[in-house]
Chains A and B, each alone.
Chain A
Amino acid sequence: MSTALGLIQTRSFPVIVRIADAMTKSAGVTLIGFEKISGGYCTAIVRGNIADVRIAIEEGIEVARQFNQEEISSLVIPRPLPNLEAVLPISSKLSQLAQSRGYSRLSNLAVGLLETRGFPAMVGAADTMLKTADVQLAAYETIGDGLCTVIIRGTVSNVAIAIDAGMYEAERIGELNAVAVIPRPLDELEQALPVASCFVAQPVTLPVAIPQAQAEEVQRSERAGERLPVYWEPPGPR
Chain B
Amino acid sequence: MRSTLASPLPPSPQPRAWPAQNGKAHYVVSGEVEIEEGASIGAGVLLRANPGCRIHIGRNVCIGAGSILHACGGSLVVEAGATLGRGVLVIGQGTIRENACIGAEATLLNCSVLSQAVIPPSSLLGDPTWGREQERVVFPQTESREAERVQELPAATPPTVSEAPPPSPEAAGGDKATPREEAAAPGQEELGGRKLNGIPGRAELDRLLGKIYPHRQVLSSRHGGL
What residues on A are CB-neighbors of B191 within 8 Å? Answer: 168, 171-172
Residue of A15, A171, A183 touching B201 (CB-CB under 8 A): A15
Tell me, yes or no, whether B192 is within 8 Å of chain A by CB.
Answer: yes
Contact between A180 and B194, CB atoms less than 8 A apart: no
Q: Is A177 within 8 A of B199, CB to CB? A: yes
A186 within 8 A of B: no
**Could you tell me if A163 and B196 are in contact, using CB atoms closer than 8 angstroms?**
no
| Residue from the set B198, B200, B202, B208 with the largest chain A CB neighbour count within 10 Å | B200
Q: Is B28 an interface residue (CB 8 A)?
A: no
Mark contacts of B178-194 with chain A using CB atoms, 8 A cut-off: 1 yes-contact digit, 0 otherwise: 00000000000001101
Considering the chains assembled together, what is the distance between the CA atoms of A165 and B200 in angstroms? 16
- The answer to whether the Cβ of B17 comes within 8 Å of any Cβ in the partner chain is no
The docked-state distance in angstroms from the alpha carbon of A68 to that of B200 is 6
CB-CB under 8 A for A176 and B199, given A160-B209, A171-B191 = yes
Closest Cβ–Cβ distance, residue A170 to chain B (whole Å): 9
Minimal beta-carbon separation of A171 from chain B (angstroms): 5
- When distances are taken between beta carbons in the complex, the residues of chain A under 8 Å from B204 are 18, 66-67, 180-181
Q: A157-B212, A172-B191 are in contact. Are A164 and B205 (CB under 8 A)?
A: yes
Q: Is the CB of A163 within 8 A of B205?
A: yes
Complexed CA–CA distance, A217 and B224 (Å): 66
Whether B208 lies near A183 (C-beta < 8 A) is yes
Inter-subunit contact A179/B202 (CB<8 Å): yes
Q: Which residues of A contact B212 (CB under 8 A)?
A: 156-157, 160
CB within 8 Å for A178 and B200 given contacts A156-B212, A164-B205, A172-B191 = yes
Chain B residues with CB under 8 A of A12: 200
Determine if B192 and A179 form an interchain contact, defined as CB atoms under 8 angstroms apart. Answer: no
For residue B223, CB closer than 8 A to chain A, the reply is: yes
Q: Are B226 and A179 in contact (CB under 8 A)?
A: no
* B208 cross-chain contacts in A, Cβ below 8 A: 156, 160, 181, 183
B contact patch SS: helix
Q: From residue B218, how far is it (CB to closest CB) to chain A in Å?
A: 14
Given A67-B200, A177-B199: A171 and B194 within 8 A (CB)?
Answer: yes
- Whether the pair B196, A160 counts as a contact (CB closer than 8 A) is no
Is residue A14 within 8 Å, beta carbon to beta carbon, of the partner chain? yes
User: In the complex the two chains form, is B199's CB within 8 Å of A178's CB?
Assistant: yes
Contact of B196 among A69, A165, A171 (CB under 8 A): A171
Judge if A161 is at the interface, Cβ distance under 8 Å: yes
Are B209 and A68 interface neighbours, CB within 8 A? no
Q: Which A residues are in CB contact (< 8 Å) with B213?
A: 157
Minimal Cβ-Cβ distance residue in B for A110:
B208
Whether the pair A179, B209 counts as a contact (CB closer than 8 A) is: no
Q: Are B201 and A161 in contact (CB under 8 A)?
A: no
Bound-state Cα–Cα, A172 to B208, Å: 23
Query: Is residue A175 contacting chain B, with contact meaning CB distance below 8 A?
Result: yes
Contact of A178 among B192, B201, B226 (CB under 8 A): B201
CA of A67 to CA of B205, assembled, Å: 11
Distance in angstroms from A206 CB to nearest chain B CB is 45
A15 to B202, CA, bound (A): 11
Which chain B residues in 155-200 approach chain A with CB under 8 Å? 191-192, 194, 196, 198-200
Q: Let me know if A125 is at the binding interface, CB within 8 A.
A: no
Q: Nearest B residue to A18 by beta-carbon distance?
A: B201
Contact assessment for B200 and A168 in the assembled complex, using a CB-CB cutoff below 8 Å? no
* A-B residue pairs in contact (CB < 8 Å), sample of 28: A14-B201, A18-B204, A66-B203, A67-B200, A68-B198, A68-B200, A156-B208, A156-B212, A160-B205, A160-B208, A160-B209, A164-B209, A164-B226, A165-B226, A168-B191, A168-B223, A171-B192, A171-B196, A172-B191, A176-B194, A176-B199, A178-B199, A178-B200, A178-B201, A179-B200, A179-B205, A180-B200, A180-B205
**Which A residues contact B (CB, under 8 angstroms)?**
12, 14-15, 18, 66-69, 156-157, 160-161, 163-165, 167-168, 171-172, 175-181, 183
Ranked nearest first, the 5 interchain pairs of A and B with the lowest CB-CB distance are A67-B200, A178-B200, A179-B201, A180-B201, A171-B191
